[in-house]
Amino acid sequence: MRDPVHSAAVMDYYPFQIHRPGAYTLSSGGHPSLLPPLIPRVAPQVERLAGQVAADGRAALRGLQRTEEVLDEEPTVTLDSQSLWSEFHKRGTEMVITRSGRRMFPPFKVRVRGLDESAKYILLMDIVAVDDYRYKFHNSRWMVAGKADPEMPKRMYIHPDSPSKGEQWMRKPVAFHKLKLTNNILDKHGFTILNSMHKYQPRFHIVKANDIMKLPYSTFRTYVFSETEFIAVTAYQNEKITQLKIDNNPFAKGFRETGNGRREKRNKQSAVPGSADQEGADSDEACENPSTSNHHHSPLESLSSPLTLPPPCQEEDGESDSDMEPPDEDFAETRSSRADRDCTQDSEEMLCNMYAETEPSKKMLTFRTLRDYHMVAADAFKTNNKYRDYVMAQRQNLSTFSGGHLQTLDFSLSQNFPKHLQAPGLFQPGQSAAMPGAEAHLSTSENVTVPLWRFALISIPLHADTSCQHPSSSHLFFKLSSGQEPPSLQPSALATLQPLPDPHLYPPEAKASFSQSFNEFELIFWRVKIREQTFGSSV
Amino acid sequence: MRDPVHSAAVMDYYPFQIHRPGAYTLSSGGHPSLLPPLIPRVAPQVERLAGQVAADGRAALRGLQRTEEVLDEEPTVTLDSQSLWSEFHKRGTEMVITRSGRRMFPPFKVRVRGLDESAKYILLMDIVAVDDYRYKFHNSRWMVAGKADPEMPKRMYIHPDSPSKGEQWMRKPVAFHKLKLTNNILDKHGFTILNSMHKYQPRFHIVKANDIMKLPYSTFRTYVFSETEFIAVTAYQNEKITQLKIDNNPFAKGFRETGNGRREKRNKQSAVPGSADQEGADSDEACENPSTSNHHHSPLESLSSPLTLPPPCQEEDGESDSDMEPPDEDFAETRSSRADRDCTQDSEEMLCNMYAETEPSKKMLTFRTLRDYHMVAADAFKTNNKYRDYVMAQRQNLSTFSGGHLQTLDFSLSQNFPKHLQAPGLFQPGQSAAMPGAEAHLSTSENVTVPLWRFALISIPLHADTSCQHPSSSHLFFKLSSGQEPPSLQPSALATLQPLPDPHLYPPEAKASFSQSFNEFELIFWRVKIREQTFGSSV
DNA sequence: TTCATTCTCACCTATGTGTGAAAA
DNA sequence: GGTTTTCACACATAGGTGAGAATG
């Protein structure tokens, strides 16, 4: 049995090129590769060793050569408690999401090296959808259960110590335990909103910037540790995951076995209704000492995971995946085998190749600017009913700009902004009457009364960290130029925003228009009706 | 009964002038005044209303006029939970100090107004000795019990949200609950080290600066709320203070009365040995509802406090202060009456006058620079055995510069530095053999072997706030120019300091030399013996 | 039914209180 | 003797766990 190889694959991000074949090649193969579906458009450039001080099996990669020098002073990031993460990953990590917000376990914590000691950095984390599937746990297996539900806008969590000097970041592991997961689309804490039964990938970002306001203009170095991938759940599905959590999370100590035997309650749960299939495989030994199992892993298999490579079957039950296959404790093995068989989609296939030829554990993307970053990250920024609810939830604390001294912003570069951000469909002109409180579904093939609006831009910090009492946990209000439609903002516009004297000046009848997510702020446009105008569309 | 009048007395600080009579006068009197002994050299300049939104009795001051305009954009600071503070103050506030660190109660929390919304500020707090006395609680009274013990260097606690915009500071009260008090001179948490049975005064500072490194060059606006004065104790002395703490601190809820009657334990303690005098005054009603007592306060009396005006008697028991005087629950009353009688020292007398004519609650000092600030604050920076222990305690984490590239600092202005900082007596040339590990008391009238040293300057952040995981909680190491004696540093020298590559290069035989306290750092000089030289002094 | 979600609960960690006996 | 300090302790706050019943 062989440990998975964990080293960093450092890649440059070229937002407007899918492939850059020939320019930079991997020493062991030379194929350009793709990252998973929702982390697309990545071309490999350079690759370096990650855990130079790590003592695990990654030394096997030392012989790899590079055709290109690494970028100057490329920071090195290693995942803390990697072995624990791998334990979970082998079984298919689950993270509970609750209405009130839940921490991740294992905690997402990284060690950073190679920073400029005296330069200031902002460290961030976010969580993005891995694929476009919805999953279900059936017969002790994760299976695809249809197309993904629309994603809520994902918040970029800024580590509360940001900005700090490289020296300080490198002094001790950087923990993100204050990032909380929720399924509450009305959340007002700034938690990360996830869809239950969907697959996600945490990411870590390093930005060399001495001020949070400079984030939009800065280069993002993004690190992905594939063993931190997980499926969000409202209740644990895989009993082995539950056991791992209980055994390792200090807060769950109360559920550990009493005395020498097994805990009563946990055994009881495993005898719960459902299709009590193959409970024999769930022996104490297998669960308690997974590393002593006799399964053999091929190098490729050990590099894959049940979460990394979803099966192509999107039907509820219509796949040949044998229900009789024993519910192996090492889920990753069987899943990756299936992937080898069934992986037909391009990106997944290329991903398999990349995994076979390089190191899957850590991938780094470097974004030249926030704009580039959004080219990749904005996939989660979709227009849907949930999103509308989300926007309206934000409204509870807000009112809207009633007039006064308006200010013009520079939108000259807004065409460079991703389409998702420029005009979420919900708030397109013809649908402006479909605001909450109005009709839920308004066809565009009718006469439409379109109000004319003035717009106020309201900025909500993306992470409201009250435990550290950071003043930025409240809302900021900005005034924005008037216009008929909320314009698309680009990062440079942030610099020209001016705070309003008193947010309470906004009248309650103001309505949220649409929203954009920047690194620091969730920008929400509010509009105040000036007058109405009727357009005859088709009727 | 009349509420104490609490408004802000805003004063300019002129470090080199005791009085500036005539230039600015108080509208209600016109006498220049002094602050308490260890906050000296203050001339009143302007005075303004503090709580413009407050609804208490301070409206009585609205009619006061000023002969001088307030400084442009002078921030206004009001103390949070002021009535609770006053409850304690009337009885003589005590704060427990423990080895592991103890919070203050009531919590020191202020509301700030009048800041520039978009400018960045650093908010700080420190605690300074009020006088040069040591106290004891005898016959239910605080009495002077001799001269004060030497003070440890006081740390300037930087609010962890610093720097933040004025807008953010003004949004909600600024709490300093993470500042902890200790009597452990070896403390390595960065807590404030106090002497038990000594009197202290918390202070609040506003500095307009966008970077902590700019603190040394910035103007300090300092606010003093006299009702936050307290005596540090290792165990509560005044039972009424204990009761107030229990009744108001949520964490002490377990000690509140059970059911309808009085708590058993507390009554038991009040029947403890000692001089169980006049326990009748300790009736349930009087203790539980102090505000309903029938005592009448003269305006002057209610403005004074037992802690503000120490009795002049410095003998253990040799004063005429009648032990038969009833241990009134309203201690402040009797104490201030005594002060009126006995206050003979100039500063105290003038203080009494000032209290009679202006508002005692809030005093503000404005320091033009950190250097000026130290002219006032450095009184706590004394040379003594405790201090030596303290310095050596710091050494546990340190070693010393062994050579290499030395760097010259600019000491051209060091004569402007307060004497306390320039050469603490312990480390004067003739006493250099009296380092820890050598003789404790070395007379200067002997032959002395004086080592020649090289100096390394080591910088220790003053607040190590680990709860927020701020990276600055570790030590920083700087190299310093060599020399025979540790030079006195001035703020501008900080800018030229360069971090050393590895603190562990310092040899263990290095010795702490002396220390300076800046706003951000505790600077500790370490020396490495180069060679020795013997001086014949007088023998 | 089956699956997914929500909620209360006991049981943890972690930390802030004064007590009261013992020690210094 | 008197005074001051220390420590284990019970009891708070605050919040992080999964269990399991109830709900949809």
Nearest CA in chain B to A473: B168
Domain membership of residue A235 (yes or no) is yes
What is the per-residue DSSP string for B215-275? GGGSPEEEEEEGGG-EEEESS---HHHHHHHHHH-GGGGGGSPSTTS--HHHHHHHT-SS-
Nearest to A228 by CA among A367, A110, A123, A374: A110
Most confident of A457-466, B403-412, B426-435: A457-466
CB B382 within 8 A of CB B420: yes
Instruction: Return the half-sphere exposure (C-beta side, CA atoms, 13 A cut-off) of residue A24.
Output: 20
Would the Cβ of A368 be found within 7 angstroms of any atom in strand C?
no
Structure tokens at A99: 């209405």
Question: To probe the interface with A, which of B118, B164, B170, B468 has the most A CB atoms within 10 Å?
Answer: B468
Considering only residues B56 and B404, tell me which one the structure prediction assigns the higher pLDDT.
B56
Nearest to A112 by CA among A98, A126, A122: A122
Burial A175-210 (b: 16+ CB within 10 A, else e): ebebbbbbbbbebeebbbbbbebbbbbbbbbbbbbb
Q: Confidence band (pLDDT; 50, 70, 90) for B345?
A: very low
Structure tokens at B387: 């201090």
Q: Confidence band (pLDDT; 50, 70, 90) for B216?
A: low
Phi, psi of A372 (to 5 degrees): -60, -40
Q: Taking CB atoms and an 8 Å limit, are B172 and A468 in contact across chains?
A: no
- Angle at which helix A346-357 crosses helix A331-342, to 10 degrees, equals 120
Based on its alpha-carbon atoms, the radius of gyration of chain B, rounded to whole angstroms, reads 24
- Select the residue of A167, A175, A470 nearest B469 (Cβ to Cβ): A175
CATH of the domain at A193: 2.60.40.820
- Select the residue of B169, B470, B499 nearest A161 (Cβ to Cβ): B470
Q: Taking CB atoms and an 8 Å limit, are A164 and B118 in contact across chains?
A: no
Q: Taking CB atoms and an 8 Å limit, are B168 and A471 in contact across chains?
A: yes
Structure tokens at B513: 């030399």
Number of CB pairs < 8 Å for A and B? 48
The parent domain of residue B161 ranges over 76-245
β pairing state of A230-233 and A94-96: parallel
Beta-carbon count within 10 A of B30 CB: 13
Nearest CA in chain A to B500: A117
Q: What residues of chain A, 494 to 513, have a C-beta less than 8 Å from chain B?
A: 499
Most confident of B38-47, B189-198, B502-511: B189-198
Q: What residues of chain B, 122 to 151, have a C-beta less than 8 Å from chain A?
A: none
- Overall size of chain B counted in residues: 539
- Which nt sits closest to A134, CA to C1'? C4
- Chain D positions under 7 Å from a protein CB? 2-7, 10-21
Over residues B454-469, mean pLDDT: 34
Alpha helix (H) residue ranges in A211-312: 239-248, 264-270, 284-288, 299-303
Nearest CA in chain A to B471: A168
Query: What percentage of chain A's residues is helix, strand, coil (to nearest 5)?
Result: 25, 25, 50
Beta-carbon count within 10 A of B283 CB: 11
Would you give the end-to-end CA distance of chain B in angstroms? 69
Global pTM reads 0.56
Give the integer Cα–Cα distance in Å for B306 and B89. 8
Domain membership of residue B459 (yes or no) is no
Q: Taking CB atoms and an 8 Å limit, are A468 and B468 in contact across chains?
A: yes
3-state secondary structure of B533: strand
Considering only residues A90 and B536, tell me which one the structure prediction assigns the higher pLDDT.
A90
Beta-carbon count within 10 A of B325 CB: 15
Nearest CA in chain A to B465: A468
CB B357 within 8 A of CB B149: no
Q: In A185-225, where do the E strands start and end?
A: 192-193, 199-208, 220-225
Instruction: Give the pLDDT of residue B72.
Output: 52
- Cα–Cα distances (Å) from B139 to A212, A520, B321, in that order, read 58, 60, 11
Domain membership of residue A102 (yes or no) is yes
Instruction: Give the pLDDT of residue A217.
Output: 63
State chain B's mean pLDDT as an integer.
Answer: 53
- Select the residue of A118, A167, A469 nearest B175 (Cβ to Cβ): A469
Residue type, B466: T
Give the integer Cα–Cα distance in Å for A25 and A67. 7
What is the per-residue DSSP string for B464-509? --TTTT-GGGS-EEEE----SSPPPP-HHHHTT--B-S-GGGS-TT
User: CA of B265 vs C1' of D10, distance in Å?
Assistant: 13
Number of domains chain A is built from: 1
What is the per-residue DSSP string for B281-349? GS-HHHHH-GGG------HHHHH--TTTS--S--SSS-S---TTS---S-HHHHHHHHHHHH--SHHHH
Q: Taking CB atoms and an 8 Å limit, are B470 and A164 in contact across chains?
A: yes
Distance of CA A319 to the CA centre of its chain: 29
Would the Cβ of A414 be found within 7 angstroms of any atom in strand D?
no
Would the Cβ of A261 be found within 7 angstroms of any atom in strand C?
no
User: CA of B288 vs C1' of C20, distance in Å?
Assistant: 23
Q: Taking CB atoms and an 8 Å limit, are A471 and B169 in contact across chains?
A: yes
User: CA of A182 vs C1' of C6, distance in Å?
Assistant: 13
| Chain B partners within 8 Å of A469 (Cβ) | 160-161, 175
Of A358-367, B34-43, B180-189, B448-457, give the lowest mean pLDDT range.
B34-43
Give the integer Cα–Cα distance in Å for A137 and A197. 9
Instruction: Give the pLDDT of residue A529.
Output: 36
CB A241 within 8 A of CB A160: no
- Select the residue of A167, A468, A474 nearest B160 (Cβ to Cβ): A468
- Which nt sits closest to B180, CA to C1'? C16
Distance of CA A375 to the CA centre of its chain: 14
Give the integer Cα–Cα distance in Å for A499 and B170. 14
What is the per-residue DSSP string for B374-429? HHHHGGG---SHHHHHHHHHHHTT-----SSS------TTGGGS-HHHH--GGGSG
Give the integer Cα–Cα distance in Å for A59 and B538. 69
H or E element, residue B85:
helix B82-91
Would the Cβ of B269 be found within 7 angstroms of any atom in strand C?
yes
Phi, psi of B300 (to 5 degrees): -65, -45
Domain membership of residue A240 (yes or no) is yes
- Per DSSP, A167 falls in state H
Beta-carbon count within 10 A of A82 CB: 23
Domain membership of residue A88 (yes or no) is yes
Q: Taking CB atoms and an 8 Å limit, are A168 and B470 in contact across chains?
A: yes
Domain membership of residue A14 (yes or no) is no
The percentage of chain B sitting over the pLDDT mark of 90, rounded to a whole number, equals: 25
Query: What percentage of chain B's residues is helix, strand, coil (to nearest 5)?
Result: 25, 25, 50
Structure tokens at B114: 């009048």
Nearest CA in chain B to A170: B471
- Cα–Cα distances (Å) from A77 to A223, A362, A474, A518, B152, in that order, read 8, 9, 32, 24, 41
Domain membership of residue B443 (yes or no) is no
* A536 vs B: CB within 8 A: no
Phi, psi of A90 (to 5 degrees): -60, -30
User: CA of B135 vs C1' of C16, distance in Å?
Assistant: 27
CB A384 within 8 A of CB A332: no
Would the Cβ of A136 be found within 7 angstroms of any atom in strand C?
yes
* A80 vs B: CB within 8 A: no
- Select the residue of A117, A118, A171 nearest B474 (Cβ to Cβ): A171
3-state secondary structure of A272: coil
Instruction: Give the pLDDT of residue B266.
Output: 43
Nearest to B326 by CA among B267, B277, B270, B288: B277
- Select the residue of B164, B472, B474 nearest A471 (Cβ to Cβ): B164
* A164 vs B: CB within 8 A: yes
Q: In A157-196, where do the E strands start and end?
A: 157-158, 164-165, 174-175, 181-182, 192-193
Beta-carbon count within 10 A of A452 CB: 16
Per-residue pLDDT of chain A (539 residues; tens, 9 = 90+): 333 333 333 332 322 222 222 222 222 222 222 223 333 322 222 223 232 223 233 333 233 333 333 445 689 999 999 999 999 999 999 999 999 999 999 999 999 999 999 999 999 999 999 998 999 999 899 999 998 888 887 778 989 888 899 998 999 999 999 999 999 988 888 899 999 999 999 999 999 988 777 776 677 888 999 999 999 999 999 999 999 999 999 999 999 876 443 344 444 333 333 333 333 333 222 222 333 232 322 222 222 333 333 333 333 333 333 333 333 333 333 333 333 333 223 222 222 222 222 233 444 444 433 333 333 333 333 333 444 344 334 333 222 222 222 111 111 111 222 222 222 221 222 222 222 222 222 222 233 333 333 344 444 443 333 222 222 222 333 333 333 344 444 443 333 333 332 233 333 334 444 444 443 344 444 443 333 333 332 22
Instruction: Give the pLDDT of residue B187.
Output: 85
Over residues B410-416, mean pLDDT: 19
Beta-carbon count within 10 A of B400 CB: 26
Domain membership of residue B172 (yes or no) is yes
Instruction: Give the pLDDT of residue B141.
Output: 92
Of A156-160, A182-186, B106-110, B277-281, give the lowest mean pLDDT range.
B277-281
Give the integer Cα–Cα distance in Å for B205 and B219. 10
- Cα–Cα distances (Å) from B82 to A146, B302, B303, in that order, read 61, 14, 14
Q: Residue B503: is the preceding peptide bond cis (ω within 30°)? A: no
Of A208-217, A258-267, B31-40, B404-413, give the lowest mean pLDDT range.
B404-413
Alpha helix (H) residue ranges in A366-464: 370-377, 385-395, 419-422
Please give, rounded to a whole number of angstroms, the shortest distance from the CA of B156 to a CA of chain A.
19
The CA-based angle A177-A178-A182, given to 5 degrees, is 105
CB B182 within 8 A of CB B101: yes
* A117 vs B: CB within 8 A: yes
CB A327 within 8 A of CB A278: yes
- Select the residue of A160, A167, A499 nearest B167 (Cβ to Cβ): A499
Nearest CA in chain A to B166: A471
Phi, psi of A82 (to 5 degrees): -65, -35
- Per DSSP, B100 falls in state T
Question: To probe the interface with B, which of A158, A159, A168, A463 has the most B CB atoms within 10 Å?
Answer: A168
Q: Taking CB atoms and an 8 Å limit, are A471 and B117 in contact across chains?
A: no
Q: How many helices (H) and strands (E) does chain A have?
A: 11, 22
